[in-house]
């Protein structure tokens, strides 16, 4: 296979992973009336943990208390991030919720760039957020926006916590253990929210499908793509998440966005791509030898 075809297949992996992720989110929204958002979070985390534990079979020995603290913190961040995101989905269109959530890693990219020009991307992202409310801020639920912003902040913490756990645990071990912690944390909130719906096999089965679509398949495809693509190219492709979310919301949930909201999504995507490229240039320059 040529290098170009190799990269094209990797890009396809990322796009398919994003599509699965947003289809899973749309399925979750359809079950909110029965399971509630926190019930769906619980099902997603529980089934994701079971799958990851079966695949990774993590070892429990040979780790310090600091490593286990990092796993616990990562698991709590996972639970909080998913809970806030699903609570936002209950009140906002899928495309809008994902666009606001993307602001978390976008801010990290801007900070990592450490360039004055990075503030240009920050300004573009801010213009995108303003445009999201251009269809009328009264159309956007304020509590939903706050939940999405909380999910964005949690995503930034997720990236930092993931790096710490990934350095301390091999392969998928850290993620499997953290997902287990997140699943346990979600139980006291998810069980009351779902109630008697947990006794319905059909709803629980769809919850398992959400876990596979939103977590298992995307993560596997992302790992395959990272073996074929530079990290910067992978990050740029991942920044297309708001567009795939808006499309999934339109096709599967009938969520129509105004043209100004679509412009806002495009601006945030553009700012993400610009910030990622700026951070990449900064990283390359820091590794160049000084003459």
Contact between 26 and 249 under an 8 Å Cβ cutoff? The reply is yes
What is the predicted pLDDT for the residue at 226?
66
pTM: 0.84
Chain Cα centroid distance, residue 271: 17
pLDDT classification of 144: cutoffs 50, 70, 90: very high
Token digits of residue 186:
């979600």
**Is the model more confident about 91 or about 288?**
91
Q: Tally Cβ neighbours within 10 Å of residue 153.
A: 16
How confident is the model over 256-289, as pLDDT tens digits? 888 888 888 888 888 887 777 766 665 555 545 4
Mean pLDDT of 98-117: 76
Angle (CA) 95-153-15 rounded to 5° is: 40
Reply yes or no on whether the pLDDT at 2 is more than 60: no
C-alpha pair distances (Å), 238 with each of 12, 26, 100, 101, 222? 11, 18, 14, 13, 9
Read off the pLDDT of residues 19-64 as tens digits, 9 standing for 90 and up: 998 899 999 999 999 999 999 999 999 999 999 899 888 887 778 8
Residue 4's pLDDT band (boundaries 50, 70, 90)? low
pLDDT tens, position by position, 198-233: 999 999 999 899 988 988 888 778 767 766 777 667
* pLDDT exceeds 70 at position 6: no
DSSP alpha helices (H): ranges in the chain?
3-30, 32-56, 65-89, 94-101, 103-113, 118-132, 142-168, 173-194, 201-211, 217-226, 231-238, 241-253, 259-287
Q: What is the 3-state secondary structure (H, E, C) of 117-167?
A: CHHHHHHHHHHHHHHHCCCCHHHCCHHHHHHHHHHHHHHHHHHHHHHHHHH
Find the angle CA(76)-CA(78)-CA(83) to the nearest 5 degrees.
Answer: 95
How far CA 186 is from CA of 34, 53, 133, 176, in Å, comes to: 17, 17, 32, 15
- Assess contact for 118 and 275: CB atoms under 8 A: yes
State residue 269's pLDDT score.
85
């Amino acid at each position: 296979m040529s290098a170009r075809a190799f990269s094209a297949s990797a890009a396809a992996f990322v796009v398919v992973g994003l599509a699965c992720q947003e289809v899973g989110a749309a399925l979750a929204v359809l079950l909110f009336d029965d399971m509630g958002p926190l019930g769906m979070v619980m099902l997603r985390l529980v089934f994701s943990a079971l799958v990851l534990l079966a695949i990774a079979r993590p070892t429990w020995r040979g780790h310090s208390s600091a490593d286990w603290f990092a796993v616990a913190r990562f698991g709590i961040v996972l639970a909080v991030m998913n809970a806030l995101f699903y609570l936002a989905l209950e009140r906002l269109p899928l495309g809008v919720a994902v666009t606001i959530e993307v602001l978390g890693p976008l801010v990290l990219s801007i900070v990592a760039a450490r360039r004055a020009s990075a503030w240009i991307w920050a300004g573009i992202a801010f213009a995108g957020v303003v445009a999201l409310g251009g269809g009328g801020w009264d159309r956007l639920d304020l509590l939903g926006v706050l939940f999405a912003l909380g999910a964005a902040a949690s995503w930034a913490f997720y990236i930092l916590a993931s790096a710490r756990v990934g350095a301390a645990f091999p392969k998928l071990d850290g993620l499997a253990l953290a997902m287990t912690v997140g699943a346990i944390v979600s139980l006291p909130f998810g069980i009351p929210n779902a109630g008697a719906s947990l006794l319905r096999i059909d709803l629980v089965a769809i919850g398992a499908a959400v876990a596979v679509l939103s977590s298992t398949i995307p993560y596997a495809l992302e790992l395959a793509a990272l073996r074929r693509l530079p990290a910067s190219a992978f990050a740029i492709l991942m920044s297309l998440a708001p567009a795939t979310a808006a499309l999934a919301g339109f096709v599967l949930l009938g969520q129509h966005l105004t043209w100004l909201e679509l412009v806002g999504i495009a601006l945030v995507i553009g700012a993400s791509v610009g910030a990622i490229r700026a951070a990449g240039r900064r990283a390359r320059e820091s590794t160049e030898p000084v003459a």
